Every structure is written in structure tokens, then in C-alpha cells.
Amino acid sequence: MRLSRYFLPTLKETPAEAEIVSHRLMLRAGMIRQGAAGIYSWLPLGYAVLQNIEQIVREEQDRAGANELLMPTIQSSELWRQSGRYEDYGKEMLRIKDRHGREMLYGPTNEELITEIFRAGAKSYRDVPSMLYHIQWKFRDEVRPRFGVMRGREFLMKDAYSFDLDQESAHRAYRKQFVTYLRTFARMGLKAVPMEAETGPIGGNLSHEFVILADTGETEIFTHKDLLDYDVLGQNIDLDDDDQIKPIVDYWTTQYARTDDMHDQAEFERQVPEDKRVQRRGIEVGHIFYFGTKYSEPLEANVSTKDGQSVPVHMGSYGVGVSRLVGGLIEAFHDDAGIVWPESVAPFKVGLINLRANDESCRTACDELHAKLEQAGITVLYDDTDESPGAKFAQMDLIGLPWQLIVGPKGLKAGTVELKHRASGERHELSPDAALQKLA
């Protein structure tokens, strides 16, 4: 992609309205544009990151055997009345009337709708266990939308739902999602710690919040240091084998890990030796629930058992804040010059900088590198503009692509280009071919 043809409205000055670094950097890097309080358009650079995060979440859900579907954003109020949540949900729910005066709402979550879909399609024990998910926009009329996409009103969530015959099988589904979440966040380079959590308006009695560490997080967390050093991707886990999954979940859930809502200082001090106590701030990026028959009973989502009885299915739900993660990742990965994307979510892997766009040899060399990178399937943003080198470096650092490939007339004469690693700042002078090889 040539920068001259790419819509990248970066800002030099720091926007005054943004309180935290991720919000400031998203605005400065031209990733988002606010439409109304807590409602954003995703500009090309921001949208590319959002889609990469979405794709990691999708691959890990698929790996867990969940089926992707897509439910609408607008729902009818009827099912919500049946579950009893229409009044309970309160002002966070955006209520809308259609032209016939029917009460509609913009979904803040989808337990009711998915339960109805499952009810209509499943009949017997043969139809369970089942796991369904979608990645769809939600709306919650937050009292105080703030921190950009971290607490938006319209936001993108992955929500998965599990259906099982009994509690034991539903707990297995819960454990599968638990480990899937550990993997999902680890693939983004994040340390997400599952914490015992309150269930809030979703309901139920078993629940974990996944929290990433960040000083600007809204939640205070208390946990054991060893949990932060656990490497989940280093293991080859068969998600269908509960004997492999259960020990992992047990490891995480037997150590102290709680947010401020659930924290008990005496218990913390009893369970965790002083030198292992971690008290930090964090951002909730995911939340999983087991709530049994809370929705299946009122909505009559029953299946028949082998001996012909009709029983309500046991359910869980599993949310990931896909759009919140864009901000969360920047909170975790930035420096004074800008964003430092982990490769797995970066909008482009390489920024190719032509230091002198009007120099024939520079242009030829860059055009060739650009073509070769694209042919090799490596995503590249090619700065082919005639801005000054200083402005080009600053913009590339700001948008945080993992690698910068810098081409100037002096180097070319000596047969070299420069490869800079954004995260470490390391620079190497190499031949264009060696640089391509290093990036492949």
C-alpha cells in the first residue's frame, strides 16, 4: 500500500480531550474519529488492527469448536420481557420504537436471542454440547463513556454461548473457553489474568474476568506473581481433552486472583507470601460466565434426554471486548514516540520509507522492494511521499509498525538499506535482498 493513496490523517499536536495515552495515540495516529460521545468511526489504520484482533479471536473460537454465526444488532423487546431483563437492564439499554410503536432495543448482549435460536433448532441430547458465537457491535448507554474505544457506547464484542445437557458438561465448556481465552490474549502478546468475578446483570454463580495489566486500567487487581509468568502458548493443548484442560484451569483458579469488587485483604495475605503479592491496575478485556438454566428455563430451551425426559439446557456465555483491546494493546505497547504494535495485530508488518522520493535510484529501489514484499505476502505501507525525512520517521514511529525499511541515496550507492526494529530500536545496514530475507 502506497502512503500517497492511503487515508492516514495523523496529527502532530496532542488532542486535549484525550485523558489516557491509548486514546491520544489512536487520535494522533489517525485510527478513529468520534461521531458522538462514545461512538467512533474506524479509519483505515484503526480498522486494520480491529480486524486483526477479530481474526485472532475467531481462529481461537473455531479451534475450540465454536460455530460462528451473526445475530442482528437490533432486537425485539419480547424475549427480554420473557427473561425478566427488560426492566432490570435499566438505562444502559438503548430502547427504540419502530414506526408501528413496537419496542425494540440495540443489543447490549445476546443471551436471550441466542437461547431462542438454540431452542428453535435443537431437540434432543444429540444436539448438545454446542457452542455458538458471533462478533458483532453492541450498544450500552454508559453513564460516562471515556478513554476512547476503551469505554465506548457502541463497541465490538465477541460473544460465545455454550449449551449442554447438565452442569458437569457445561463446566467442561467453561474450562474450554477459559483456556481458549488464555491463548487468545497470549497470541496478542498480552498477559491476561483470569480473576474471580461478580456476575452482574448476566447472572449465574461461576465467573471469571480476564484482566490485562495497565496503570490506566479502571480495575484494581490483587494476585500471585507466579501467575504472571505462566506460558500458555508454549504448550500443545488438545481442547477436547478435559484431562489436559482441567489442570490448567485448576492452576489458575486455586491461586489468589481477584479484582477490587471481590478482594479480601486478610485472605490475600494468608494465601500469598509477601514477596509474591502483586497489586496493580488492569483493564477487563474478557469475561466468562456459567449461569445454568437462568435463560433456558424462562425461554423454554429444552432438549430431551436419552430416557425421554425434557430438560432445560445448561448455558454459559463468554465475552471478549474486541474494540476495547485496540486501546488496551496500545496501553501495553507504546513509548514516547508512539505505538509499538506486536506483530500479530500490526496493521502492516513493514513501513518502507523512501528518504528521497524525487531521486530516480531511490524510487526504483523502493518500488522494487514494495513489489517484492507484497508478492511475498508481507503487508507493507510504503511512504512514497515527498515529506522530509524527519517527518517520515516521526510518523512511522507514531503508527508503530514493527519494522521500518529505510532507503536513502547514500546507502544505495554502497548497496545497502537500513532495517529498524521499532520495539528495540535496533538498526541494521544490509543489502536489499538480505533485508527482504530477514522480513520473510
Q: Say if residues 328 and 336 touch (Cβ distance below 8 Å).
A: no
| Closer of 119 and 287 to Mg ion (Cβ) | 287
Q: Which does 321 bind (CB under 5 to 8 A by kind): ligand ATP, Mg ion, none?
A: ligand ATP
Residue 72: all three cell numbers together: 442482528
**What distance in Å separates the CA atoms of residue 206 and residue 201, rounded to the nearest whole number?**
13
| Closer of 57 and 352 to ligand ATP (Cβ) | 57
* Residue recorded with cell 484442560: 245
CB under 5 A: which stretch of 24-32, 117-125, 281-289, 404-412 binds Mg ion?
Answer: 281-289
CB under 6 A: which stretch of 15-23, 80-88, 222-230, 283-291 binds ligand ATP?
Answer: 283-291
CB under 5 A: which stretch of 144-152, 237-245, 276-284, 394-402 binds Mg ion?
Answer: 276-284
| Closer of 134 and 151 to ligand ATP (Cβ) | 151
| Closer of 292 and 319 to ligand ATP (Cβ) | 319
Binder among 23, 58, 134, 151 for ligand ATP (CB under 6 A) = 151
Q: Which does 256 bind (CB under 5 to 8 A by kind): ligand ATP, Mg ion, none?
A: none
Query: Residue number with the shortest CB distance to ligand ATP?
Result: 321
| 157 interacts with ligand ATP by CB under 6 A | yes
Question: Site residues for ligand ATP, window 315-334 (CB under 6 A)?
Answer: 319, 321, 323-324
Phi, psi torsion values for 72, nearest 5 degrees: -70, 165
| Closer of 286 and 316 to ligand ATP (Cβ) | 286
Report CA 229 to chain centroid distance, whole Å: 21
Binder among 30, 203, 286, 316 for ligand ATP (CB under 6 A) = 286
| 158 interacts with Mg ion by CB under 5 A | no
CB under 5 A: which stretch of 16-24, 100-108, 280-288, 424-432 binds Mg ion?
Answer: 280-288
Q: Which does 151 bind (CB under 5 to 8 A by kind): ligand ATP, Mg ion, none?
A: ligand ATP
**What distance in Å separates the CA atoms of residue 172 and residue 388, rounded to the nearest whole number?**
58
Binder among 175, 187, 208, 287 for ligand ATP (CB under 6 A) = 287
Handedness of CA 81, 83, 87, 89 (dihedral sign): negative
| 142 interacts with ligand ATP by CB under 6 A | yes
Query: CB of 263: closest distance to Mg ion in angstroms?
Result: 14
Query: CB of 140: closest distance to ligand ATP in angstroms?
Result: 5
Query: CB of 401: closest distance to ligand ATP in angstroms?
Result: 25
Q: Which does 103 bind (CB under 5 to 8 A by kind): ligand ATP, Mg ion, none?
A: none
Query: CB of 138: closest distance to ligand ATP in angstroms?
Result: 7
Binder among 152, 282, 316, 411 for ligand ATP (CB under 6 A) = 152
| Closer of 3 and 211 to Mg ion (Cβ) | 211
Handedness of CA 97, 100, 101, 102 (dihedral sign): negative
Q: How far is CA 89 from CA 3, 72, 164, in A?
A: 46, 19, 26
What would the x/- binding string for ligand ATP be over residues 195 to 234, using CB under 6 A? -----x----------------------------------
Q: Which does 285 bind (CB under 5 to 8 A by kind): ligand ATP, Mg ion, none?
A: ligand ATP
| 287 interacts with Mg ion by CB under 5 A | yes
Q: Say if residues 212 and 300 touch (Cβ distance below 8 Å).
A: no
Size of the site for ligand ATP (CB under 6 A): 15
| 285 interacts with ligand ATP by CB under 6 A | yes
Q: Say if residues 89 and 111 touch (Cβ distance below 8 Å).
A: no
Q: Say if residues 325 and 342 touch (Cβ distance below 8 Å).
A: no
Query: CB of 70: closest distance to ligand ATP in angstroms?
Result: 17
Q: Strands 350-354 and 380-383: what pairing?
A: parallel
Residues making contact with ligand ATP (CB under 6 A):
140, 142, 151-152, 155, 157, 200, 284-287, 319, 321, 323-324
Residues making contact with Mg ion (CB under 5 A):
284, 287
